[in-house]
Structure 1
Amino acid sequence: MDTSRARSTDIQQIWQRLLEPNITVLLRNESISSQAHAGIYTTIYNVVMMDHGGQQLYAQLSAFYATYTMGIYKARPEDDSLLPSYYDSQWTRFCRGAATVDRLFNYLNRDWVELQRDEGRRDVKTVLNVALTQWRINIFDPLSPRLEPPPAVSEADAEEKETRVAILRTKFASESLTVRELRKMRFSSTQSDVASSHPSEGE
């Protein structure tokens, strides 16, 4: 086996045995030990330092978030009246967990993603934006028609809900969202919360 193939196999095993299980725990908003956190952080650094390690790790993350968000979509309620609360609860959990994962993958963002973007690869996103893109593609886009108001509601309520969906759709297109903004991007938030401007500080 050549060296590049061996390294690819090593990264796959690291992903399956260490990274994927712990990322899943974090996305459920459960905690991991400080020892596990330190071990994961060091492992990510070591992988990124490998030849093509950042690229392979990024590909694993992208595929993981696609599968994970599709699972949330498949578990959606069929009753439209239950959908907004389901969407909001899942979104709150997901954005909190995704922000934690993004911080954990700081080395990937800083040492590989930034380099790729500096070289003109606008398709490469930060780890957080990879998560948000998959949420938009696999959950928000297919569910947003059901989040919009049915014809029977009042005109005022319909306009308000349509505005919320439109604002969320616009925000998902941004790659400069802060964690504070993400927390406000719930469907049932008040319109003033959802439409608030970017805060000057990130989180």
Structure 2
Amino acid sequence: MTRLSSTETEAAVDAGQRSDQSREAWAAQLGDALGDGYVEHHIIPGSDLWVRVSRDSWADAAAAARDQLGCRFFDWLSAIDWLPSPYGRDMDAQEDNPQPKAADPIEQGHAGGQTRLQMVVRLYSLAERMGVTIKADLPNDDLSIDTLIPVYAGANWHEREAWEMFGIHFNGHPDLRHIYLPGEFEGNPLRKDFPLLARRVKPWPGIVDVELFPGEDGS
């Protein structure tokens, strides 16, 4: 293992502090640009900046990140369903609960949240070598938000995927249509309360269907 000298360690710490100062400056710039549409932010020291904005300020936040922070690179866009799965679905469970159980309390991630479903977009500045993750709460009774296509054309199919998998409507999107699922498919598979019927039939593949390595006898 390579060990850093004291000088190298101090340089790394200084670089991390400068990065955090830059992230604080970014958060302040977005706050000034969005006004009441800016909710809060969270900084992971030396790593990342998360900013939560109102749904109405979603597109404005993306435009401010592009024009004021220099985030010209659109990385990805998706949604998060913070509802704990009532089926107990996880990678260590061989089978789901046959009947849904009472869901655990919802706990949102960095920069908090007030709703079950949130939009998330990751933007990056190649010049600054730094990125920002922007998120917005979606009201439970109105899963819609403005499209980011006028700001980042690359958001097109990411929004189609979120529409298809989470049931989120993107206002102003010119071509919301399925990518993966047949047109007559009902439901949104990435919502936590969507049951995977295959796990009603047999244990989760990969947990029990394990192939032995060459030379193993299975004893």
TM-score over 0.5 for the pair: no
Give the structure with the higher percent strand: 2
Q: TM-score, normalised by structure 1?
A: 0.31
- Larger RCO (alpha carbons 8 Å, 6+ apart): 1
Higher helix share: 1
Report which of the two structures shows the higher radius of gyration computed on alpha carbons.
2
